[in-house]
Amino acid sequence: MGRSVIRALLAASLLAVVAASGHAQSQSQSEWETVLRLQLADESKCEFLRIVSMRQLPVSGLDEIEGRVRCTDGREFDFSRQKAHQKFTIRLCQPAVC
């Protein structure tokens, strides 16, 4: 899939998430997950495998989402987003030795 096609799909998905902010929780989850998958593919060349962990934090009127995903190549990324209309912040999760 071309980079411009992925960006167009990402933009369309972001608009869909904003438009659907009043829909049921299960529908909203699938929409943010679609946006996350497209953003991971575009920015990190990650073929999504599964969500390792995820939580939603309704704080001060924000609907923050954060968690971790695993790619088919074994890499894991931490993700977060404060509002539905924003892009996700995605960080490569690397082992830390203490």
DSSP string, 4-22: HHHHHHHHHHHHHHHHTTT
Band (29; pLDDT cuts 50, 70, 90): low
Residue 88 above 50 pLDDT?
Answer: yes
pTM (two decimals): 0.67
Mean pLDDT along residues 6-32? 54
